Structure 1
Amino acid sequence: MPRQWPKRHHAKGSRQLVPARRRAGRTSTRPELPPSTQQGQRSARDDRDMRPSRTAAVLLFAYVVVMLWVTLGPAPGAVSGNQARRGVLDPSIWFDSDTWTIGSQTEFELNVLLFVPFGALLAFALRGAPMIVPAVMSGGFALLIEVAQIPMADRISDPRDLVANSLGAVIGILVARLSDAIASIPARLKARRRAALARGGTRTSPIRTATGGIRLTPDDRASTRAPAGRSIR
């Protein structure tokens, strides 16, 4: 007859010692998610930085206020250019040679630089949209400024300025999209590596459950079966 050991009674409120194996086996009680769900959650976290930027939208609003003050406010000095009666809305001025020859080269370059931050911030604020969307919006905003300058005595509504502003916006959009593409390279590499590991792991490796056990895959179960006609004792 096996020897009976007396049971130990613990006082109420005392802490019982749990073997290390039991504590190690109860690391988590949450159910294990399917590999596809886990991969989707990781991809969502990686793509979080590729969403439209609210910060860029706020900065864009502030920069638009500055641009309107610079382009529609009092001119700091004399301006030169070729303006028709209806400004950029006059089709004939677009084919006049004086439109593209009269004016300062420095002024043209400044008009380009003025719209580079605008195009970049707009692209960040509309991240995920086709590039044609911020490009068309930038051109429309530049046209709106030139139309607003038509009745102003100290401003010139010049097609040359419209082209310079649109060019600067396109440059800013390209810079923003290029920076997003470079920033997303590490996330894409991680996603591909995890997908490759998941495909290889589900085919050949057993899956460790959240409670510390091991769940065999169908391939592992097939390999552990006994040969036909032979029993396991």
Structure 2
Amino acid sequence: MPDTSSAPGAPALPWRALLVAGALYLLTWTLLPPLLISSFPLDVVESLSWGREWQWGYYKHPPLAPWLLHLSYRAFGAAGPFLLSQLCIAATLWLVWLAGCRLMERERALLGTVLTLGVAFYGHPALEFNHNIAQMPLWAGLGWALLAALQDGRLRHWLALGALAGLGLLTKYSVAIVLACLGLYLVLGPARRALARPGPWLALGLALLLLAPHLYWLWQSDWLPMAYASRRAEAPGGSARLGALSFL
């Protein structure tokens, strides 16, 4: 693992200024939108109607994002959904930075993290909290957890990987794509040596344990989200097919 400390004589990173700038950024994107718009975006309204029911699944998506949205709205009112979005963005950037620090110097990791804000999804689309925004820190967290587990071999990192995998699949099914890529990396690359230790299997067990109530709900509901996607895919018009893919 590379040394993440600054070189002797190098100027220290301006952490206080960065934290202040980050806090101002978060507050701006949290407090201004409810003052400037007359209603919530469509996805927010839809998820708010789901989250208050506290079900283990909904006809289009898994349950975690609506639950969090409902809690944020109850706690912070109209600013809650916007705050939740920005917390997801902040968590994503923090996890990107943590992963970067394991691969390069802290200064370069910070630069890469700041440049991440140039991706469109970190800006205006984040005003509409939905399953896409909710899964962003989980995608970043999965990458960091696997990297940490392979570098350090500590059980807590494998358990973090399992928890993030389970929570990710409770957020949006597209997290399975990331998990498939990580699984292929473990099986086909030099990292497969880790499979001889208990960590990966404990991670798998924890992920399945967290996902089990939703899997039971899917079975009880005759796999309702998949049926929804299938019906949308069979509808005429390309927009319907795109809508069917949105459940991923």
Bin of the TM-score, shorter chain as denominator length = under 0.3
More helix by share: 2
Which has more radius of gyration?
A: 1
